[in-house]
Amino acid sequence: MSQITLKDMAAKPDLLCPGARLCAGCDESIIVRMVLKATRGPTIVTNATGCLEVATSIFPYTSWDVPWIHSAFENTAATASGIEAAYKAMRRRGEGPLAKYPQLDVIAFAGDGGTYDIGLQALSGAMERGHDFTYVLLDNEAYMNTGIQRSGGTPFTAATTTSPAGQVMPGKLEWKKPIDDIIIAHAIPFTATINAAWPLDVMKKARKAFEAEGPAFLHALTPCARGWRYPPEKTIAVSRLAVQTCVLPLYECRQEGGDVVYELSAPSLAIAKRPESKKPVEEYLQMQGRFRHLFRPERREDLLKALQEGIDKRWDTLLKKCGL
């Protein structure tokens, strides 16, 4: 992989410009800026309908200093397929406006609704066909743009406006869909989780994704102050805790000579080496109003236990996959 240093990256201009209408404390713009810093040169971005799209493109303004297209919600991977196919055809023919670029980074940004739910078919199709592009999942764990409705990416017990914590139901009854496992099952060259609390890791993985020949998938957990109910200045703290509690560990998965190779990234590897440093999931939950009903009016020991066990189980499974 080509070298990525914080110093070089800091010197690169932001390709998502300041002044977007995203909420204070939004993690999405942080991830997007980091990912775009890792681009190698000519880049085309496509964006699913969602917060990022509506907050960065209100006509006649735009925040994007890269060629950018939004077409719909469920089809980002299909739109990216078309862009990549156009580039490939022009290269092969040696003719057409993109023919002159020896490489092109095609990036698709989509939220959890556009990935776990409505966009899963298009995404699966694009992965199966092997288009060379990077899909970045901005996972804020609910339909935030429409007002915090539950998605397949919403975690167990989280309160949303369509999975409210009520008298008989404690928030969402189902567990978060294991999207990374689904993607990895497509045997694409590169899949990784990323987190804005570790910027260098984000940019290094983004560069690896661009350099991979074929589809690459980056899963960013993007805390949402409005939807998760925490103060906007705590975004990075909440994000960091997701890794420290192993709610969303940092790792990458590569196809190497027909083998599926899992590798923990430094922050999660440190926890694997010193299991006592793993923080209890409660620390993560307590920071967020969407889990408040687990603590008030009374502690829901049953749910807290189930949550901790569920997180532990997934972590153990991941460790085994990593050969640890």
Partner 1 sequence: MKQKLMGLNGDEAAAYATKQVDPDVVAAYPITPQTIIVERFSEYVADGQVHSEFVAVESEHSALSSCIGAAAAGARAYTATAANGLALMWEMTYIASGVRLPIVMSVVNRALSAPLNIHNDHSDSMGARDSGWIQIYCENSQEVYDAHVEAWRIAEHEDVLLPVMICFDGYTISHTMENVMTLPDEDVKGFVGKRGFIKVQGHLGEAELRLDPGCPISMGPVDLQDFYFEHKVHQMEAMDEALKVIPTVDKEYGALSGRNYSHVHPYRMDDAEVAILGLGSAMGTTRAVVDELRGEGVKAGMVKLRTFRPLPAADLMKVAGDAPVLGVIEKDLSFGAVGSPLYEDVRAAFYGAGSKPLVANYVHGLGGRDTSMAMIRGIYEDLLKIKRKGRVDKTMNYVGLRE
Binding flag, residue 251, partner 1 (CB under 8 A): no
Q: By three-state DSSP, how is residue 105 classified?
A: strand
For residue 92, the minimal CB distance to partner 1 (Å) is 6
Binding flag, residue 79, partner 1 (CB under 8 A): yes
- Give the interface segment with partner 1, choosing from 72-80, 209-217, 303-311, 313-321 (CB under 8 A): 72-80
Please state the φ and ψ torsions of residue 183, each to the nearest 5 degrees: -65, -45
Please, are residues 103 and 185 in contact by the beta-carbon 8 Å criterion? no
83 vs 196, beta carbon nearer partner 1: 83
Token pair 């567990």 is found at 175
Q: Which residues contact 90 (CB under 8 A, 6 or more apart)?
A: 96, 97, 98, 99
71 vs 161, beta carbon nearer partner 1: 71
Binding flag, residue 143, partner 1 (CB under 8 A): no
Q: Figure out which of the listed residues 2, 5, 71, 317 binds partner 1, where binding follows CB under 8 A.
A: 71
86 vs 270, beta carbon nearer partner 1: 86
Count CB neighbours of 168 within 10 A.
4
Closest CA to 135 of 55, 65, 206: 206
Binding flag, residue 190, partner 1 (CB under 8 A): no
Tokens encoding 293: 């009903």
- Give the interface segment with partner 1, choosing from 62-70, 152-160, 165-173, 181-189 (CB under 8 A): 62-70
Tokens encoding 38: 């890792």
Task: State which amino acid sits at residue 116.
Answer: Y
Binding flag, residue 29, partner 1 (CB under 8 A): no
Q: How many residues bind partner 1 (CB under 8 A)?
A: 52
Binding flag, residue 57, partner 1 (CB under 8 A): yes
CA–CA separation, 186 and 40 (whole Å) = 26
For residue 216, the minimal CB distance to partner 1 (Å) is 17
Residue 89, H or E segment: helix 76-93
For residue 117, the minimal CB distance to partner 1 (Å) is 15
For residue 128, the minimal CB distance to partner 1 (Å) is 7
Q: Is the dihedral of CA 199, 200, 202, 203 positive or negative?
A: positive
Residues in touch with partner 1 (CB under 8 A): 41-44, 46, 53-54, 57-60, 62, 64-72, 74-75, 77-90, 92-93, 95-98, 101, 104, 121-122, 124-126, 128-129
